[in-house]
Structure 1
Amino acid sequence: MPSYHSKLTSDKSIGNVALLPFRTKFRGPIQNYSVANGNEGSEAAQDIIDEALFYFKPNVFFKTYEIQSNADRVLIYLTLYIIECLKRLQRLNSKEGAFQEMHALAISRFDIPGDPGFPLNAVYAKPNNAEEQDLLRQYLLQIRQECGIRLVERVFDTENQKPSKWWLCFAKRKFMDISLSGAGK
Protein backbone atom coordinates (compact mmCIF):
# COMPACT_ATOMS: atom_id res chain seq x y z
CA MET A 1 0.00 0.00 0.00
CA PRO A 2 1.54 3.35 -0.98
CA SER A 3 1.84 6.28 1.41
CA TYR A 4 -0.38 9.33 1.09
CA HIS A 5 0.97 12.46 -0.56
CA SER A 6 -0.09 16.08 -0.52
CA LYS A 7 -2.52 17.16 -3.21
CA LEU A 8 -1.58 20.82 -2.73
CA THR A 9 0.72 22.86 -4.93
CA SER A 10 2.51 26.14 -4.55
CA ASP A 11 4.61 28.25 -6.87
CA LYS A 12 6.51 29.68 -3.87
CA SER A 13 9.24 27.76 -2.12
CA ILE A 14 12.44 28.17 -0.17
CA GLY A 15 15.03 25.65 -1.22
CA ASN A 16 12.75 22.73 -1.95
CA VAL A 17 10.17 23.39 0.79
CA ALA A 18 6.84 24.66 -0.54
CA LEU A 19 5.39 27.74 1.14
CA LEU A 20 1.81 26.55 1.24
CA PRO A 21 -1.00 28.77 2.50
CA PHE A 22 -3.05 27.61 5.48
CA ARG A 23 -5.77 28.91 7.78
CA THR A 24 -4.23 30.53 10.82
CA LYS A 25 -4.77 32.98 13.63
CA PHE A 26 -1.03 33.42 14.22
CA ARG A 27 1.14 36.17 12.80
CA GLY A 28 3.76 35.20 10.29
CA PRO A 29 4.61 35.13 6.60
CA ILE A 30 1.38 33.32 5.69
CA GLN A 31 -1.72 35.46 5.88
CA ASN A 32 -4.98 33.73 6.72
CA TYR A 33 -5.74 32.47 3.24
CA SER A 34 -9.35 31.44 3.94
CA VAL A 35 -10.32 35.09 4.42
CA ALA A 36 -8.13 36.34 1.58
CA ASN A 37 -9.55 33.82 -0.88
CA GLY A 38 -13.18 34.15 0.16
CA ASN A 39 -13.24 30.67 1.69
CA GLU A 40 -14.01 31.77 5.24
CA GLY A 41 -16.05 29.11 6.98
CA SER A 42 -15.62 26.67 4.11
CA GLU A 43 -14.83 23.19 5.38
CA ALA A 44 -14.25 21.92 1.85
CA ALA A 45 -10.97 23.81 1.46
CA GLN A 46 -8.30 21.62 3.09
CA ASP A 47 -4.93 23.14 3.83
CA ILE A 48 -1.60 21.41 4.47
CA ILE A 49 -2.24 21.10 8.21
CA ASP A 50 -5.59 19.42 7.57
CA GLU A 51 -3.85 17.01 5.18
CA ALA A 52 -1.10 16.26 7.70
CA LEU A 53 -3.60 15.51 10.46
CA PHE A 54 -5.80 13.46 8.13
CA TYR A 55 -2.94 11.39 6.67
CA PHE A 56 -0.97 11.16 9.92
CA LYS A 57 -2.27 7.81 11.18
CA PRO A 58 -1.75 5.83 7.96
CA ASN A 59 1.51 7.58 6.98
CA VAL A 60 3.21 7.18 10.35
CA PHE A 61 3.63 3.43 9.72
CA PHE A 62 5.93 3.92 6.72
CA LYS A 63 9.68 3.48 7.07
CA THR A 64 10.26 5.10 3.69
CA TYR A 65 8.42 7.88 1.92
CA GLU A 66 8.78 8.79 -1.73
CA ILE A 67 8.76 12.57 -2.13
CA GLN A 68 6.66 13.55 -5.13
CA SER A 69 6.51 17.32 -4.65
CA ASN A 70 7.82 20.13 -2.47
CA ALA A 71 4.50 20.01 -0.60
CA ASP A 72 5.40 16.47 0.52
CA ARG A 73 8.39 17.91 2.38
CA VAL A 74 6.01 20.08 4.41
CA LEU A 75 3.81 17.01 5.00
CA ILE A 76 6.86 15.05 6.25
CA TYR A 77 7.87 17.87 8.58
CA LEU A 78 4.35 18.16 9.98
CA THR A 79 4.09 14.38 10.49
CA LEU A 80 7.33 14.41 12.49
CA TYR A 81 6.17 17.47 14.42
CA ILE A 82 2.82 15.83 15.28
CA ILE A 83 4.73 12.92 16.83
CA GLU A 84 6.70 15.39 18.97
CA CYS A 85 3.43 17.02 20.02
CA LEU A 86 1.87 13.68 20.95
CA LYS A 87 4.89 12.85 23.12
CA ARG A 88 4.18 16.00 25.12
CA LEU A 89 0.40 15.55 25.16
CA GLN A 90 0.52 12.03 26.60
CA ARG A 91 1.62 13.50 29.97
CA LEU A 92 -1.31 15.95 30.17
CA ASN A 93 -4.91 15.57 31.28
CA SER A 94 -6.41 18.97 30.55
CA LYS A 95 -7.12 20.80 27.34
CA GLU A 96 -5.97 24.13 28.80
CA GLY A 97 -2.62 22.64 29.82
CA ALA A 98 -2.31 21.07 26.38
CA PHE A 99 -2.72 24.45 24.66
CA GLN A 100 0.02 25.91 26.86
CA GLU A 101 2.33 22.96 26.21
CA MET A 102 1.81 23.16 22.43
CA HIS A 103 2.57 26.89 22.48
CA ALA A 104 5.76 26.27 24.45
CA LEU A 105 6.84 23.51 22.05
CA ALA A 106 6.07 25.59 18.96
CA ILE A 107 8.14 28.57 20.05
CA SER A 108 11.04 26.54 21.49
CA ARG A 109 14.27 26.53 19.50
CA PHE A 110 14.16 24.24 16.47
CA ASP A 111 16.44 23.44 13.56
CA ILE A 112 15.59 24.20 9.95
CA PRO A 113 16.96 22.63 6.77
CA GLY A 114 20.65 23.41 6.51
CA ASP A 115 21.23 23.52 10.28
CA PRO A 116 23.58 20.77 11.53
CA GLY A 117 20.91 19.36 13.88
CA PHE A 118 18.16 19.07 11.27
CA PRO A 119 17.52 15.31 10.77
CA LEU A 120 16.53 15.44 7.10
CA ASN A 121 19.27 17.56 5.51
CA ALA A 122 19.76 14.86 2.87
CA VAL A 123 16.30 15.51 1.33
CA TYR A 124 15.80 19.20 2.16
CA ALA A 125 17.73 21.93 0.38
CA LYS A 126 19.42 24.62 2.45
CA PRO A 127 18.01 28.14 2.08
CA ASN A 128 20.17 30.30 -0.21
CA ASN A 129 20.78 33.22 2.14
CA ALA A 130 20.06 34.62 5.59
CA GLU A 131 16.83 36.28 4.40
CA GLU A 132 15.46 32.93 3.15
CA GLN A 133 16.58 31.23 6.38
CA ASP A 134 14.65 33.78 8.41
CA LEU A 135 11.54 33.43 6.22
CA LEU A 136 11.66 29.61 6.45
CA ARG A 137 12.07 29.76 10.24
CA GLN A 138 9.08 32.15 10.50
CA TYR A 139 7.00 29.89 8.21
CA LEU A 140 7.82 26.77 10.22
CA LEU A 141 7.15 28.60 13.49
CA GLN A 142 3.74 29.72 12.24
CA ILE A 143 2.84 26.25 10.93
CA ARG A 144 3.99 24.63 14.21
CA GLN A 145 1.78 26.99 16.22
CA GLU A 146 -1.31 26.31 14.10
CA CYS A 147 -0.70 22.56 13.89
CA GLY A 148 -0.36 22.27 17.68
CA ILE A 149 -3.66 24.07 18.29
CA ARG A 150 -5.52 21.92 15.76
CA LEU A 151 -3.99 18.74 17.16
CA VAL A 152 -5.14 19.60 20.69
CA GLU A 153 -8.68 20.11 19.35
CA ARG A 154 -8.59 16.59 17.89
CA VAL A 155 -6.87 14.83 20.77
CA PHE A 156 -9.15 16.35 23.40
CA ASP A 157 -12.34 16.04 21.34
CA THR A 158 -13.92 13.62 23.80
CA GLU A 159 -16.96 13.80 26.06
CA ASN A 160 -14.92 13.96 29.26
CA GLN A 161 -12.25 16.32 27.81
CA LYS A 162 -9.57 13.70 28.50
CA PRO A 163 -7.03 12.91 25.77
CA SER A 164 -7.99 10.32 23.18
CA LYS A 165 -6.06 7.08 23.47
CA TRP A 166 -6.58 6.62 19.72
CA TRP A 167 -4.28 9.59 19.12
CA LEU A 168 -1.85 9.14 22.01
CA CYS A 169 -1.06 5.56 21.02
CA PHE A 170 0.97 7.04 18.13
CA ALA A 171 3.33 8.98 20.43
CA LYS A 172 5.86 6.13 20.42
CA ARG A 173 5.92 5.74 16.63
CA LYS A 174 8.78 6.95 14.48
CA PHE A 175 7.95 8.05 10.96
CA MET A 176 10.76 6.99 8.59
CA ASP A 177 12.77 6.06 11.73
CA ILE A 178 13.43 9.77 12.31
CA SER A 179 12.70 12.13 15.18
CA LEU A 180 12.74 15.93 15.07
CA SER A 181 13.94 16.08 18.67
CA GLY A 182 17.11 14.13 17.97
CA ALA A 183 18.71 11.28 19.88
CA GLY A 184 18.13 11.09 23.60
CA LYS A 185 15.44 13.76 23.82
Structure 2
Amino acid sequence: MPAYHSQFNENTEYRIIGNMALLPIKTKFRGPAPSAPSDTDDIIDEALDLFRANCLFRNFEIKGNADRVLIYLILFISDGLNRLVKNPSQKEAMKNLNTKALDNFALPGEPGFPLNALYSAPSNRSDADLLRQYLTQLRQELANRLVERVYVDGKPSKWWMCFQKRKFMNKSL
Protein backbone atom coordinates (compact mmCIF):
# COMPACT_ATOMS: atom_id res chain seq x y z
CA MET A 1 0.00 0.00 0.00
CA PRO A 2 1.51 3.37 -0.96
CA ALA A 3 1.77 6.32 1.40
CA TYR A 4 -0.53 9.31 1.05
CA HIS A 5 0.93 12.33 -0.76
CA SER A 6 0.12 16.01 -0.66
CA GLN A 7 -2.63 17.39 -2.86
CA PHE A 8 -0.51 20.51 -3.37
CA ASN A 9 2.08 18.66 -5.49
CA GLU A 10 0.14 19.34 -8.70
CA ASN A 11 0.17 23.11 -8.25
CA THR A 12 3.41 24.69 -9.45
CA GLU A 13 2.62 28.35 -8.75
CA TYR A 14 4.13 28.33 -5.25
CA ARG A 15 7.53 29.80 -4.49
CA ILE A 16 10.27 27.21 -3.94
CA ILE A 17 13.16 27.65 -1.51
CA GLY A 18 15.74 24.88 -1.68
CA ASN A 19 13.25 22.26 -2.71
CA MET A 20 10.45 23.08 -0.27
CA ALA A 21 7.32 24.85 -1.45
CA LEU A 22 6.03 27.90 0.43
CA LEU A 23 2.41 26.81 0.62
CA PRO A 24 -0.50 28.97 1.77
CA ILE A 25 -1.83 28.36 5.27
CA LYS A 26 -4.71 29.55 7.40
CA THR A 27 -3.00 31.21 10.33
CA LYS A 28 -3.07 34.05 12.79
CA PHE A 29 0.72 34.04 13.17
CA ARG A 30 2.85 36.49 11.23
CA GLY A 31 5.18 35.12 8.62
CA PRO A 32 5.94 34.78 4.92
CA ALA A 33 3.31 32.12 4.15
CA PRO A 34 0.59 33.21 1.76
CA SER A 35 -2.90 33.33 3.17
CA ALA A 36 -5.17 30.38 2.36
CA PRO A 37 -8.94 30.64 1.99
CA SER A 38 -10.69 29.68 5.22
CA ASP A 39 -13.08 27.27 3.48
CA THR A 40 -10.36 24.97 2.08
CA ASP A 41 -7.83 22.65 3.69
CA ASP A 42 -4.24 23.83 3.89
CA ILE A 43 -1.03 21.83 4.26
CA ILE A 44 -1.38 21.76 8.07
CA ASP A 45 -4.88 20.27 7.88
CA GLU A 46 -3.55 17.77 5.37
CA ALA A 47 -0.61 16.82 7.62
CA LEU A 48 -2.91 16.29 10.61
CA ASP A 49 -5.34 14.23 8.52
CA LEU A 50 -2.62 12.05 6.97
CA PHE A 51 -0.36 11.70 10.02
CA ARG A 52 -1.85 8.53 11.47
CA ALA A 53 -1.78 6.73 8.12
CA ASN A 54 1.62 7.97 6.95
CA CYS A 55 3.47 7.50 10.24
CA LEU A 56 3.25 3.74 9.71
CA PHE A 57 5.52 3.88 6.66
CA ARG A 58 9.27 3.41 6.76
CA ASN A 59 9.69 4.65 3.16
CA PHE A 60 8.09 7.62 1.47
CA GLU A 61 8.43 8.40 -2.22
CA ILE A 62 8.60 12.16 -2.72
CA LYS A 63 6.43 13.21 -5.64
CA GLY A 64 6.84 16.97 -5.33
CA ASN A 65 8.04 19.88 -3.24
CA ALA A 66 4.83 19.90 -1.20
CA ASP A 67 5.64 16.36 -0.03
CA ARG A 68 8.81 17.69 1.59
CA VAL A 69 6.73 20.15 3.61
CA LEU A 70 4.35 17.31 4.50
CA ILE A 71 7.27 15.13 5.70
CA TYR A 72 8.58 17.97 7.87
CA LEU A 73 5.15 18.54 9.41
CA ILE A 74 4.62 14.83 10.09
CA LEU A 75 7.97 14.69 11.88
CA PHE A 76 7.01 17.75 13.92
CA ILE A 77 3.67 16.15 14.87
CA SER A 78 5.53 13.05 16.02
CA ASP A 79 7.88 15.14 18.18
CA GLY A 80 4.91 17.07 19.53
CA LEU A 81 3.12 13.90 20.58
CA ASN A 82 6.27 12.76 22.36
CA ARG A 83 6.16 15.96 24.42
CA LEU A 84 2.60 15.14 25.51
CA VAL A 85 3.51 11.74 27.00
CA LYS A 86 3.12 12.86 30.60
CA ASN A 87 -0.50 13.92 29.92
CA PRO A 88 -0.23 17.60 30.80
CA SER A 89 -3.34 19.73 30.89
CA GLN A 90 -4.43 21.30 27.64
CA LYS A 91 -3.07 24.69 28.70
CA GLU A 92 0.31 23.20 29.65
CA ALA A 93 0.40 21.23 26.40
CA MET A 94 -0.23 24.39 24.39
CA LYS A 95 2.56 26.18 26.26
CA ASN A 96 4.93 23.23 25.84
CA LEU A 97 4.32 22.85 22.10
CA ASN A 98 4.52 26.60 21.47
CA THR A 99 7.90 26.59 23.19
CA LYS A 100 8.97 23.69 20.97
CA ALA A 101 7.73 25.56 17.88
CA LEU A 102 9.83 28.62 18.71
CA ASP A 103 12.98 26.68 19.67
CA ASN A 104 16.02 27.04 17.47
CA PHE A 105 16.11 24.33 14.78
CA ALA A 106 18.35 23.24 11.94
CA LEU A 107 17.49 24.05 8.34
CA PRO A 108 18.14 21.80 5.33
CA GLY A 109 21.84 21.82 4.56
CA GLU A 110 22.89 22.42 8.17
CA PRO A 111 24.63 19.59 10.07
CA GLY A 112 21.80 18.99 12.58
CA PHE A 113 19.03 18.55 10.02
CA PRO A 114 17.92 14.88 9.97
CA LEU A 115 16.87 14.66 6.31
CA ASN A 116 19.72 16.36 4.46
CA ALA A 117 19.71 13.59 1.84
CA LEU A 118 16.14 14.49 0.80
CA TYR A 119 16.29 18.29 1.04
CA SER A 120 18.55 20.79 -0.65
CA ALA A 121 19.96 23.78 1.19
CA PRO A 122 18.65 27.29 0.47
CA SER A 123 20.75 29.00 -2.19
CA ASN A 124 21.61 32.13 -0.18
CA ARG A 125 21.29 33.73 3.25
CA SER A 126 18.06 35.61 2.49
CA ASP A 127 16.39 32.39 1.29
CA ALA A 128 17.59 30.64 4.46
CA ASP A 129 16.09 33.39 6.62
CA LEU A 130 12.81 33.23 4.69
CA LEU A 131 12.70 29.43 5.04
CA ARG A 132 13.35 29.68 8.80
CA GLN A 133 10.50 32.21 9.15
CA TYR A 134 8.18 30.00 7.10
CA LEU A 135 9.00 26.85 9.08
CA THR A 136 8.57 28.75 12.36
CA GLN A 137 5.16 29.97 11.21
CA LEU A 138 4.19 26.40 10.20
CA ARG A 139 5.41 25.00 13.53
CA GLN A 140 3.45 27.58 15.55
CA GLU A 141 0.21 26.98 13.67
CA LEU A 142 0.66 23.22 13.74
CA ALA A 143 1.29 23.26 17.51
CA ASN A 144 -2.01 25.08 18.09
CA ARG A 145 -4.02 22.83 15.80
CA LEU A 146 -2.41 19.66 17.16
CA VAL A 147 -3.44 20.50 20.72
CA GLU A 148 -6.98 21.25 19.52
CA ARG A 149 -7.17 17.85 17.79
CA VAL A 150 -5.47 15.74 20.43
CA TYR A 151 -7.28 17.07 23.49
CA VAL A 152 -10.83 15.82 23.85
CA ASP A 153 -12.66 16.65 27.09
CA GLY A 154 -9.49 18.11 28.57
CA LYS A 155 -7.43 14.93 28.21
CA PRO A 156 -5.23 13.64 25.38
CA SER A 157 -7.09 11.28 23.08
CA LYS A 158 -5.78 7.73 23.22
CA TRP A 159 -6.39 7.48 19.47
CA TRP A 160 -3.71 10.10 18.93
CA MET A 161 -1.36 9.17 21.75
CA CYS A 162 -1.07 5.57 20.56
CA PHE A 163 1.01 6.92 17.63
CA GLN A 164 3.54 8.75 19.81
CA LYS A 165 6.12 5.93 19.66
CA ARG A 166 5.93 5.58 15.89
CA LYS A 167 8.81 7.07 13.95
CA PHE A 168 7.98 8.15 10.42
CA MET A 169 10.80 6.99 8.15
CA ASN A 170 12.76 6.12 11.34
CA LYS A 171 13.56 9.85 11.77
CA SER A 172 12.84 12.59 14.25
CA LEU A 173 13.50 16.32 14.23
TM-score bracket for this pair, using the shorter chain length: over 0.9
1:46 to 41, 50, 53: 41
Structure 1 counterpart SS, 2:136: helix
Structure 2 counterpart SS, 1:33: coil
2:82 counterpart letter in structure 1? K
Q: Deviations over 1:60-92 (max 9, x none)?
A: 010000000000000000000000000011223
Which TM-score applies when normalising by structure 2? Answer: 0.95
Give the conservation status (yes or no) of the 8 Å contact 1:24–1:31: no
- Alignment map for 1:36-185 (pairs within 5 Å): 40=38, 42=39, 45-156=40-151, 158-159=152-153, 161-180=154-173
Structure 2 stretches lacking a partner, 5+ long: none
Distance 1:113 1:77 in 2: 11
Q: Deviations over 1:22-72 (max 9, x none)?
A: 0001011124332xxxxx4x2xx1100001000000100100000000000
Q: Which residue of 2 aligns with 1:3?
A: 3
2:2 counterpart letter in structure 1? P
Distance 2:18 2:7 in 1: 20
Distance 2:19 2:159 in 1: 33
Give the conservation status (yes or no) of the 8 Å contact 1:52–1:79: yes
Structure 2 counterpart SS, 1:176: helix
Percent of pairs with identical residues:
54
Report how far residue 169 of structure 1 moved.
Answer: 1.2
Q: Deviations over 1:127-175 (max 9, x none)?
A: 000000000000000000000100000000x23x111111111111110
Give the conservation status (yes or no) of the 8 Å contact 2:25–2:33: yes
Runs of at least 4 residues of structure 1 off by over 2 A? 31-34
Distance 2:86 2:26 in 1: 28
Total equivalences in the alignment: 170
RMSD over aligned Cα, in angstroms? 1.0
Distance 1:176 1:102 in 2: 22
Give the conservation status (yes or no) of the 8 Å contact 1:17–1:74: yes
Distance 1:178 1:162 in 2: 27
